């Protein structure tokens, strides 16, 4: 292959190269957040294409410095809470809070020998993830959402001379363009022949499925990426004393909270732990789970602030539909657990129309 310098009009001097290499050497990044080789190749090739440079040409040392700083800080940022949230959103993955109106059972129907109640009673917990198609139009991290400031904070933390001087940051234009290119590394398929032939070249999703958790090297960092693909469209992560189990809908059973409380109450009566009978228990359950607005006995009833400041017991739908209620509560009325409820919101358009009627901004909901 010919020497790449022949494509440069202004080849950098060795002094310039040494200066910018030394600047980058002042960052002490941990090895687990190094960008993968294929991400670097993709970003560098796209940058040369944007600059109308030959792929064999050498970019200026200060440009290389900017590419390295942005890519290293970006991949370090992905391991943060905000970075992980951005990455999962890009892949169409959303973590959904378990419905507060239901108890979850694993492995079998509620109150059977096969079923295990998930909760503090069994020292276990559950997290729920939904999977849609990859969000190819997701915005890259930016100054507006605070991501670039978070990356700059990471750079300051790993800078050897942070007490003496601040590190040199790329220009705003470089940050924005390079982060857009890195976003595309995750959304575009790997080209095995560009910018040079490499049969094992990977793209961002494949990298995310393989990268190890630095705090638990035996596990992958973003196991939700792989597991939601396997248990599409809904995956459950159960953490218990024996470790972590992932499963799909067929292994999870839900029980309305009012039915759960009634069963537990019957057990307490039989043990002699309480001083009321079955009829009184039924009345207590009805009082606890009766919506004071629609009068329904429904598991999602909870205490809410009423119109005159009084505390009322309201279901999610009535609370979300009140003039001064939290309309985001209506998002819970899209949960698949609630499909038998008369107020179950069955389509995104139904939710959109209802929220717009209430003067509430509308965000496209994940089907739950």
**Is pLDDT at 219 greater than 90 in this prediction?**
no
Task: Write the DSSP string, 150-169.
Answer: HHHHHHHHTBTTTTT-PPPP
User: 85: number of CA atoms within 13 Å, CB side?
Assistant: 7
| Residue 54 CB contacts under 8 Å (≥ 6 apart), including other chains | 4, 7, 48
For residue 363, with 0-12 CB atoms within 10 Å meaning exposed, 13-18 middle and 19 or more buried, which class applies?
A: exposed
Q: How far apart are CA 368 and CA 365, in angstroms?
A: 8
- Displacement of CA 20 from its chain's centroid (Å): 36
Q: What is the pLDDT of residue 42?
A: 97
Q: What's the rounded Cα separation, in Å, for the pair 74 and 150? A: 9
Contact 326, 319 (CB under 8 A): yes
Give dist(CA 83, CA 78) in Å, integer.
Answer: 4
Reply yes or no on whether the pLDDT at 358 is more than 60.
Answer: yes
pLDDT for position 264: 92
**What are the CA-CA distances from residue 272 to residues 208, 260, 262 (Å)?**
54, 18, 15
Average pLDDT, the chain: 89
Q: What is the DSSP string of 248-293?
A: -GGGEEEEEHHHHHHHHHHHHHHHT-SS--HHHHHHHHHHHTB-TT
- pLDDT for residue 162: 64
For residue 51, count CB atoms less than 10 angstroms from its CB and return exposed for 0-12, middle for 13-18, buried for 19 or more: exposed
What is residue 309's predicted lDDT score, i.e. its pLDDT? Answer: 65
pLDDT value, residue 40: 97
Categorize the per-residue pLDDT at 233 as very low, low, confident or very high, splitting at 50, 70 and 90: confident
Give the rounded percent of residues in the chain with a pLDDT score beyond 70.
93
- Ordered DSSP codes for 38-103: HHHHHHHHHHHHHTT--TTS---HHHHHHHHHHHHHHHHHHTSHHHHHHHHHHTTEEEEPPPTTEE
* Continuous segment of H or E residues that includes residue 129: strand 125-131
Q: Are 302 and 283 in contact (CB under 8 A)?
A: no
**Is residue 235 within 8 Å of 228, Cβ to Cβ?**
yes
Minimal CA–CA distance to 111: which of 253, 9, 227, 209? Answer: 253
Rounded to a whole number of angstroms, the distance between the first and last alpha carbons of the chain is: 55
Delimit the domains of the chain by residue range. 9-87+135-209, 93-131+211-288, 292-368
Inter-residue contact 43 to 71 (CB < 8 Å)? yes
| Tokens 């207590």, residue located | 284
Output the pLDDT for position 307.
57
HSE at residue 280, side-chain half, CA atoms within 13 A, is: 6
- 10 Å CB burial of residue 78 (0-12, 13-18, 19+) is buried
pLDDT tens string 132-163: 888 888 899 999 999 999 999 999 999 987 66
């Amino acid at each position: 292959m010919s020497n790449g310098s022949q494509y440069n009009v202004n080849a950098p001097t060795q002094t310039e190269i040494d200066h910018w290499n030394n600047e980058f050497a002042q960052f002490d990044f941990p090895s687990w957040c190094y960008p993968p080789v294929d991400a670097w190749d993709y970003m560098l090739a796209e940058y040369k294409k944007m600059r109308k440079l030959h792929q064999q040409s050498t970019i200026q040392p200060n440009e290389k410095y900017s590419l390295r700083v942005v890519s290293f800080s970006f991949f370090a940022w992905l391991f943060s809470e905000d970075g992980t949230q951005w990455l999962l959103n890009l892949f169409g993955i959303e973590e959904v809070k378990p419905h507060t109106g239901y108890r979850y059972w694993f492995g079998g129907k509620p109150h059977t020998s096969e079923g295990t109640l998930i909760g503090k009673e069994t020292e276990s917990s559950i997290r729920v993830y939904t999977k849609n198609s990859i969000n190819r139009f997701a915005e890259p991290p930016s100054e507006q959402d605070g991501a670039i400031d978070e990356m700059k904070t990471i750079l300051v933390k790993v800078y050897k001379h942070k007490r003496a001087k601040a590190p040199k940051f790329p220009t705003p234009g470089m940050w924005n363009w390079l982060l857009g290119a890195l976003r595309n590394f995750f959304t575009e398929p790997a080209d095995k022949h560009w910018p040079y032939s490499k049969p094992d070249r990977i793209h961002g999703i494949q990298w995310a499925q393989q990268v190890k958790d630095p705090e638990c090297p035996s596990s992958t960092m973003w196991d939700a990426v792989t597991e939601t693909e396997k248990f599409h469209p809904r995956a459950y992560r159960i953490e218990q004393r024996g470790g972590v189990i992932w499963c799909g809908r067929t292994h999870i059973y839900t029980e309305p909270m009012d039915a759960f409380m009634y069963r537990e109450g019957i057990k307490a009566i039989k043990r002699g732990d309480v001083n009321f009978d079955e009829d009184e228990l039924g009345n207590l359950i009805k009082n606890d789970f009766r919506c004071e607005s629609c009068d329904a006995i429904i598991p999602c009833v909870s205490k809410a602030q009423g119109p005159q400041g009084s505390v009322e017991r309201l279901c999610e739908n009535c609370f979300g539909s009140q003039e001064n209620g939290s309309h985001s509560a209506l998002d819970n009325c899209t949960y698949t657990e609630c499909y038998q409820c008369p107020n179950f919101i069955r389509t995104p358009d139904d939710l959109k129309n209802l929220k717009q009627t209430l003067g509430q901004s509308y965000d496209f909901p994940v089907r739950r």
